[in-house]
Structure 1
Amino acid sequence: MRNIGVKVSYDGTNFNGFQSQPYGRTVQDEIEKAIKHLSGENIVIIGSGRTDAGVHAMGQVFNFHTASTIPTERWAIALNTRLPKDIVILDAWDVPEAFHSRRSAKRKTYRYTIDMAKFPDVFARAYRFHHPTKLNVEAMSEGVKHLIGTHDFTSYTSIHSTKPHHIRTVYEAYFVQEGQALHLYITGNGFLYNMVRVIMGTLLWVGQGKLKPEDMKRILEGKLRSLAGPTAMPHALTLMDVEYSEDEAPAAEVAENGADDDDE
């Protein structure tokens, strides 16, 4: 049996999330059907995390064990011919037997994008949250800095979170403006259910002047979901990258520190 790691991108618009669900179309189900068609095996893939319904990915990772003799370098091309157009396999590589795409992950990076134009960009509307009124980007940039470090993020996760604890580490978080598009990039060792979206919803309140930048810290320390802002819409969120140690990654990119479960 071989253990194969795979990097996949997908447009989450018409998916009910990554992970298999009793009802609705999922990325995992489509990939497993393609593997079945290709190798004849009934395989359950292991995802690096569970993106929610409507959330996109440019660098989601999964792994699976296979007895197939198909060369590793052929899996990406072969699967892409059997997958719908809103899923594209980007890479496939051999990983150690013990590799687990979720447990072995070191760092994960998400991007949330706001369209600040008066009118929405019709070609980007599926990937940006349109906010036509003025935002204080400087205040938002100052506010998000309070979340960097290791904290209990209870205030910034869904009340439906099932995790035994809400302690996570945010390595970096910053805004990048490209024309009328404002991107929040946030990297951590793992993210709780709705964590990035609740952070973004609260930062929008900072940008609107409803909260001060330092309120982000007060909310964090309060450890109550009711203190934070609304959960931002899912369609503007994209999982950008999942990083692993050098011997497990498709490229020689060494990352430090361990990752926890990702439920965004």
Structure 2
Amino acid sequence: MPLWKLILAYDGTPFHGWQIQPGLSTVQGTLAAAILHVTGEDVLPQGSGRTDTGVHALGQVASFELAAPIPAQNLHRALNRALPPSIRILSLEAAPEGFHARYSAVRKTYEYRIFPHDRWQPGLPDRICSPMLAPWVWDCRWPLDLDRMQQAAQDVLGTHDFTSFAASDPDRTARKAGSTVEASNVRTIFASDWTHRDELLVYRVTGSGFLHHMVRNLVGAFVDAGAGRIAAGDIAKIIAAQSRSAAGPTAPASGLFLVEVVY
């Protein structure tokens, strides 16, 4: 059976995340419905990971098999016509035997975007976040120090146990039920940087993998550092605690984008 790999972008605002859920609109379910409409085959595309409700993607990867030998260009065009405007397939190609969008991935890159209200010049009024931008950023109202946020971001580089930044994952717990092997929360972060771009504060992180809500929890802690609620050096202590209660709040989903998956 032909095995297909596709890269897609989507606005996560109208969806209840990637993973199919009964009675709810999801990206995976919408893509599966488009495949059924175009090919008549009932398949469930596998994604590189589960983005949460409201999280967006610039480079999500999915894979699926089809019985029908449809030319790639025809399938690509037909699927985009069947999908809503909030989802677009950027590329579609035959995948090598054994390829799996999730299990073949070796690293992922996420980006988080914050709209800062302060203008960095004293005496000027706060900036106002346009409703045309609000669904894709965190409209953050606290003054933030970019240097402190960047300093804090450096302390997550390398290999660590990120239990302090992992939300409870019911699906992961269910998969491990009855198993004597404990799921590891150890991940390796290769890059972790804040920049000021297009009048936004942008966090970009590349890692071997990410735990449930991990990027959003990291951003929440970095914002605490930028706002002066914790010291930038406290990130290392939070990691060492290996307790979710040691870290700060979870950043809103609206600012998070899955940017790239490397195989």
TM-score of the superposition, structure 1-length normalised?
A: 0.90
Tell me the amino acid that sits aligned with residue 106 of structure 1. Answer: V
Equivalent residue number for residue 155 of structure 1: 164
Equivalent residue number for residue 75 of structure 1: 75
Equivalent residue number for residue 261 of structure 1: none
- How many percent identity over aligned positions? 38
Deviation at 1:74, TM superposition (A): 2.5
1:2·1:97 contact (CA, 8 Å) conserved in 2? no
Equivalent residue number for residue 239 of structure 1: 258
What SS is found at the alignment partner of 2:151? helix
Equivalent residue number for residue 36 of structure 2: 36
What SS is found at the alignment partner of 1:14? coil
Tell me the amino acid that sits aligned with residue 197 of structure 1. Answer: R
Deviation at 1:94, TM superposition (A): 1.0
Give the alignment's Cα RMSD to 1 decimal.
1.1
Tell me the amino acid that sits aligned with residue 46 of structure 2. Answer: I
What SS is found at the alignment partner of 1:140? helix
For structure 2, the residue ranges without an aligned partner over 5 or more in a row are: 118-125, 174-182
| Superimposed CA distance per residue, residues 224-256 of structure 1 (whole angstroms, 9 cap, x where no aligned partner) | 000100011001101011111xxxxxxxxxxxx
Equivalent residue number for residue 237 of structure 2: 218
Distance in structure 2 (CA, Å) of the matches to 1:75 and 1:216: 47
Question: For residues 1-264 of structure 1, what are the structure 2 equivalents within 5 Å?
Answer: 1-117=1-117, 118=126, 119-160=128-169, 162=172, 164-244=183-263
Deviation at 1:179, TM superposition (A): 4.1
Distance in structure 1 (CA, Å) of the matches to 2:50 and 2:169: 15
Deviation at 1:123, TM superposition (A): 1.7
TM-score of the superposition, structure 2-length normalised?
A: 0.90
2:2·2:69 contact (CA, 8 Å) conserved in 1? no
What SS is found at the alignment partner of 2:258? strand
Q: Taking structure 1 as reference, are residues 94 and 204 closer, same or farther at Cα in structure 2, changes over 3 Å only?
A: same
Between Structure 1 and Structure 2, whose CA radius of gyration is higher?
2
For structure 1, the residue ranges without an aligned partner over 5 or more in a row are: 245-264
Distance in structure 1 (CA, Å) of the matches to 2:142 and 2:229: 14
1:159·1:225 contact (CA, 8 Å) conserved in 2? no
Distance in structure 1 (CA, Å) of the matches to 2:23 and 2:6: 25
Equivalent residue number for residue 251 of structure 1: none
What SS is found at the alignment partner of 1:141? helix
Q: Taking structure 1 as reference, are residues 64 and 179 closer, same or farther at Cα in structure 2, changes over 3 Å only?
A: closer
Greater than 2 Å deviation, 4+ residue runs: 159-163
Aligned residues: 244
Deviation at 1:22, TM superposition (A): 2.3
